[in-house]
Structure 1
């Protein structure tokens, strides 16, 4: 009898433990579910804090936009992108080369960095343009051949001094570094008589240590500008007033007399008279 009673008690205890286990199991599942929801929220929060990828705008800008923009835009040297480059300067063909008392052409030429520069951007400020020919002793003389050796096999013209040396004397005290005007140096041709490549322009600038800066712009020529006899243009100078009109012109010059007597005095006159 005692053995039967003990068995009943044991069975009852086992059933009791089983019931407790079943009642506690949902709590464990609920806890697990709660943890999953917390982890999900943390994951979503982490995703929201991730920085968005920035969209990269193209460096290629249409020519029409370049005219309205204050930024330079890319264009290779030597007419590598013929269609784009020709479009950029096609408006100059009817008035190239520039003539005295005419509006200066809307030239768009490559910089040392391979970007294109619209000269029309200079409208509102007086500027002087020097046209250089890498094969010309005069152009190399004006660049400073007396201080550096000649390049490209050119025989130097020792009577020509660097252009900076003429300024203060023939402008009434205005130096080539003056912020009152812009100096534009255009290397129209390289040693082969063609429009210069970027390497040729860089060699020209570095060899003669030409000054660069906000008031000194160095540009390369373009094949379309060579349809006219370049030797009638370079070496040469033109002075353009604030209204973008050519006020002094001396192109294809053999020496420095016109620089002293015409170009620099006219530049000085325009600088000192805001109406021009």
Structure 2
């Protein structure tokens, strides 16, 4: 092979390789776009696509969102084992409700991703600036409260699954198994019986709300702009509510 033919052949090989690499780069960009964690605004837009800003989801309980110092909406839920329950079935105990988006790095952290690893595929992450709920309780309350506690129920309600869709009982089962939440320890991982995705619901994610023994909302630490601090308001209120008897908690 003479020099000119060799150079032409080499150029062709380079062009083919360059085109192939460009194709792979485009595919990689598409993959990242499909698998990236949605930010709160993206979740808001998704909710508005389903139920526009002026449209009310008929599945939403009343009142919604939950109102401070008022009876909590009686959510119909399905747990990780496929069992139906009403949130009011737990009345008489102190209830911590957590709203979860499985793609949210903060939701992952609250459930213990720092210790257990993230749930889902390799594109999922957790936020290292947030501790698990259990670690927060341990840090703030020390010997005042030990989990599990027979009079405290932690209800983890998954709204969005890892694809950003309405969560189902299989999602709840996967989350519970991965992070080690079991009913015997007063953890209930569940999903709404009906689709309650809505812009008002999205504002509750990620975060927690605290319900007293009379089934009234007492502390609201839900959402990215919570009314009350999880660390200094919700967690520190738990011992007070545990010691109170129904109708004596105001």
TM-score for the superposition, normalised by structure 2 = 0.67
1:159 aligned residue: 129
Of structures 1 and 2, the larger Rg is shown by 1
Any conservation in 2 of the 1:92–1:106 contact (CA below 8 Å)?
Answer: no
Map 1:86-165 to 2 at 5 A. Answer: 93-152=61-120, 153-165=123-135
The Cα RMSD (Å) is 2.4
Match of 1:192 among 163, 172, 176: 163
* Structure 1: runs of 5+ lacking an equivalent: 1-89
Change in CA separation of 1:93 and 1:212 when aligned onto 2, cut-off 3 Å: closer
**SS at 1:104's partner residue?**
coil
Instruction: Please point out which of 206, 224, 243 is paired with 1:235.
Output: 206
Per-residue deviation at 1:148? 2.6
2:189 corresponding residue in structure 1:
218
1:226 is paired with a residue of what secondary structure?
coil
Of structures 1 and 2, the one scoring higher in RCO (CA 8 A, sep 6+) is 2
**Superposed, which structure 2 residues align to 1:195-206 within 5 Å?**
195-206=166-177
Could you report, residue by residue, the CA deviation over 1:200-249 in whole angstroms, capped at 9, with x for unpaired residues?
22221222222432622221134431123443111111111111100001
* TM-score, normalised relative to structure 1: 0.61
1:78-114 alpha-carbon deviations (Å, 9 max, x no partner): xxxxxxxxxxxx7853312212111101111011121
The answer on whether the counterparts of 1:195 and 1:223 sit within 8 Å (CA) in structure 2 is no
Aligned residues: 187
- CA–CA distance in structure 2, aligned partners of residues 129 and 197 of structure 1: 18
Cα–Cα, structure 1 residues 182 and 271, in superposed 2: closer, same or farther, change >3 Å?
Answer: same
- Structure 1 273/91 Cα, relative in aligned 2: closer, same or farther at 3 Å? farther
> 2:161 aligned with 1:171, yes or no?
no
Quote the residue 1:246 is aligned against: 217
Structure 1 segments of 4 or more deviating over 6 A?
Answer: none
